Amino acid sequence: MLNRKGKEIPPTSLLNRQARTDGIYAFGVQMHFSHEGKPWILTRKTSARIHQDRKYKEGEKLHLICDGEVVNNPQNEIERILPFSINRFFFFDGEMLRDYEELLEEKSSSMKILKDSIERILGIPYFRLSRNDLKQILKGIERERTTILRRLGGQEYEDLLKEFEVVVESMENLEDSIEILEQQLKDTEIEITDDKRRQEDLKEVKQYAIKRNDIERDIILLDGEIKIIDEKIKNLNADLYKAILYNTSNNILSQLDDKHNAVMEKYDKKIKLQGKLDEVEKGIKLQICQYCGTILNKENLNFLEKEKIILLKEIETVTEIPQPDTSYDAYRQTLRRMNENIINQNEYLEIDEEKNSKIHRIAELNEELNELKEKYYEKDAEESFELEDVIREKEREKGRLEGLISSQKNELQRLQEYKSELNQKITSIDKRELNILDKRIELINTLSQLFDEAISIYTEERKKDVEKEATEIFRMLRSKIDFDSLSINDNYGLSIITTTGESLNKSEWRSAGEEQLVAISLIGALNKCSQIEAPIVMDTPFGRLDLKHGGRVMTFLPKMSNQIILFATDREVRDEDLSHLKGYIKSDYTLEHIGEKIGSKIIITR
């Protein structure tokens, strides 16, 4: 089991947590598919007595059933159906876009590896195998001719034959040596590319660290802001009781007002009566009317005496409380003050909204942080110091290998010419038995040449097919009309050709989205031109595309292969986007995360 970077996934990390808790150390996967008109069932499973990677690996089992029959040597059969080396063209991972971008870098060493994969998908190696078979046949015939010549000519041709054999042997040794050196060169180039990529990643470490610090600081700031909001809420809560008492308070206020008014009315009456009594008493004492100043006679004085008695009685009735009861007034004041300082409960809504947006932002930042940490921990900072030296060493080794290959190829060329001279001498010997073999050798040489030319022509034609298909797809996906077509180079790298005929390579595109469109165009074209038919599985294919381009890619998908399996998030493919795939969706499933222990379950959405 390999991860998206081609590294092995430890089997222990694949076991369901619940299963582990329950002590069930077994897991597996079964795939049902149709191929060549037959139903197939592929099962991979493993079990172990203890939770250890080694034990799981020992317990690995692979079964393949075709049309009800168990297939012997299932791994070989899987390799026949879909060779591992070309799986990248059927399993497209949007998050691994950089690998696809490598497809577009003409100078990339990885391109050379990918070139082999591409040629294999186009069926080119079959011609090469045939040509190599011819070479083997040629060698056999040459050996046979030498044997016959030695028998017929005796000592006469011995020197010539020995010379020929030495040349052939030297050539074979050289060819073997060149093959080994070329493989070493290829390996070295791959290593250099990997090291350079790692070096590039290590440079990113610093950037990751800075970005991580930025995000962590943002999270701390947001946490602080949330704490301030919580304090605000608590402060509001401390006064919330007043808002809740508001209606009750209003009702009570009106009651208290009534009571206060009643008390004040009594008091006012008493004051008035007291004033009147004072007037009457003064009038009696001075015997002068206090209103008009006339002297009062006896009858008038008697009247005032009677009025005084009445007033005293009335005052007595309102003197239960000598001073007005101000406690009601104090309660009223308290409640009035409270009513003037009521909090608005809508403030909570605004604060909640603010708090929720901050919590949401923190969740986003944490997600970003986790992704960043994942990337960050993949890098080994210590490597950065050593990597440069390693790369330089490997570059030197690469140069040495290239020099060796070049000199050996020159030597091979020289031997080839010498062999031709010797061959001419041998073919000039007029013996009937030899003549037949000579004709065969000539035929095989002609055929070999023919195959060489055929490989070249076929490769060129297939390349043109890929270019044509890729251009057609690209035109469906592009948004810039002045991007006219795609041009393919010897390494299957692609350039954009503008309407004015200008060729743009990757460095001039500058847009990650356009790189992805070109990569999708190439992959789509390769699938169309492929000798192998298989479904395409795409994971997060629209991650770097805007809505318009995402929609175009979606519209194109049904044309890409007979069956497409899309793994997309709800952000990548929204409900309204499904209109692009209308009529083409066979099944729709949703992966729902249940919990840490149980994991996820698959729900049939459609």
Partner 1 sequence: MSSAYGDAITLPASDQAKSILRQLQTKNLFNEQRHAWMLGAALGIATGQVHTAGNRGTFQNINSLDPEGIFAAIMVGLYPDLSPDDRRKKLVDHAEWGIREIYRKEEIGTLDFSTLGK
Chain positions contacting partner 1, by CB under 8 A: 230-231, 233-238, 240-245, 247-249, 251-253, 255-256, 327, 330-332, 334-335, 337-338, 345-349, 352
What is the rounded distance in angstroms from the CA atom of residue 601 to the CA atom of residue 573?
20
Comparing CB distances to partner 1, the nearer of 171 and 256 is 256
Kindly give, in sequence order, each residue whose CB lies less than 8 Å from that of residue 376, ignoring residues fewer than 6 positions away: 205, 208, 209, 212
Instruction: List 117's β-bridge partners, or say none.
Output: none
Give the nearest distance from C-beta 229 to partner 1 in angstroms.
Answer: 11
Comparing CB distances to partner 1, the nearer of 132 and 327 is 327
In the chain, what's the furthest Cα-to-Cα distance?
192
CB atoms within 10 A of CB 47: 15
Rounded alpha-carbon distances, angstroms, from residue 594 to 23, 224, 314, 603, 605: 20, 32, 86, 12, 16
Mapped onto helix, strand or coil, the DSSP state of residue 572 is coil
Give the nearest distance from C-beta 242 to partner 1 in angstroms.
Answer: 7
Kindly give, in sequence order, each residue whose CB lies less than 8 Å from that of residue 304, ignoring residues fewer than 6 positions away: 280, 283, 284, 296
What is the rounded distance in angstroms from the CA atom of residue 46 to the CA atom of residue 69?
22
The per-residue b/e assignment along 279-305, b for 16 or more CB within 10 angstroms, e otherwise, is bbeebbeeeeeeeeeeebeeeeeeebe
Comparing CB distances to partner 1, the nearer of 240 and 289 is 240
Give the nearest distance from C-beta 231 to partner 1 in angstroms.
Answer: 8
Count of alpha carbons within 13 angstroms of residue 82, beta-carbon side = 14
Comparing CB distances to partner 1, the nearer of 207 and 345 is 345
Give the nearest distance from C-beta 352 to partner 1 in angstroms.
Answer: 7
> In this structure, are residues 544 and 107 in contact, taking their beta carbons and an 8 Å threshold?
no
Give the nearest distance from C-beta 252 to partner 1 in angstroms.
Answer: 3
Give me 537's structure tokens. Answer: 């599985």
Give me 98's structure tokens. Answer: 């950089």
Comparing CB distances to partner 1, the nearer of 57 and 259 is 259
Mapped onto helix, strand or coil, the DSSP state of residue 573 is coil
Comparing CB distances to partner 1, the nearer of 8 and 350 is 350
Comparing CB distances to partner 1, the nearer of 49 and 234 is 234
Specify the pairing of strand 536-539 against strand 91-93: parallel
Give the nearest distance from C-beta 264 to partner 1 in angstroms.
Answer: 17
What is the rounded distance in angstroms from the CA atom of residue 97 to the CA atom of residue 421?
54
DSSP state of 11: G
Give the nearest distance from C-beta 320 to partner 1 in angstroms.
Answer: 18
Comparing CB distances to partner 1, the nearer of 270 and 332 is 332
Give the nearest distance from C-beta 345 to partner 1 in angstroms.
Answer: 5
Comparing CB distances to partner 1, the nearer of 253 and 566 is 253
Give the nearest distance from C-beta 217 to partner 1 in angstroms.
Answer: 24
Comparing CB distances to partner 1, the nearer of 69 and 340 is 340
> In this structure, are residues 40 and 48 in contact, taking their beta carbons and an 8 Å threshold?
no
Comparing CB distances to partner 1, the nearer of 230 and 442 is 230
Comparing CB distances to partner 1, the nearer of 346 and 587 is 346
Nearest to 119, CA basis, from 530, 428, 441: 530
CB atoms within 10 A of CB 381: 11
Comparing CB distances to partner 1, the nearer of 352 and 417 is 352
Instruction: List 41's β-bridge partners, or say none.
Output: 32, 65
> In this structure, are residues 524 and 556 in contact, taking their beta carbons and an 8 Å threshold?
yes
Task: Tell me which H or E stretch contains 29.
Answer: strand 26-35
Give the nearest distance from C-beta 327 to partner 1 in angstroms.
Answer: 6
Give the nearest distance from C-beta 236 to partner 1 in angstroms.
Answer: 7
Kindly give, in sequence order, each residue whose CB lies less than 8 Å from that of residue 178, ignoring residues fewer than 6 positions away: 405, 408, 409, 412
Give the nearest distance from C-beta 323 to partner 1 in angstroms.
Answer: 15
Give the nearest distance from C-beta 257 to partner 1 in angstroms.
Answer: 10
> In this structure, are residues 487 and 503 in contact, taking their beta carbons and an 8 Å threshold?
yes
Give the nearest distance from C-beta 515 to partner 1 in angstroms.
Answer: 48
Kindly give, in sequence order, each residue whose CB lies less than 8 Å from that of residue 525, ignoring residues fewer than 6 positions away: 465, 466, 467, 468, 469, 470, 472, 473
The helices-and-strands tally (H runs, E runs) of the chain is 16, 12
Kindly give, in sequence order, each residue whose CB lies less than 8 Å from that of residue 448, ignoring residues fewer than 6 positions away: 131, 134, 135, 138
Give the nearest distance from C-beta 55 to partner 1 in angstroms.
Answer: 46
> In this structure, are residues 560 and 524 in contact, taking their beta carbons and an 8 Å threshold?
yes
Comparing CB distances to partner 1, the nearer of 73 and 255 is 255
Comparing CB distances to partner 1, the nearer of 362 and 470 is 362
CA 367 centroid distance within chain = 12
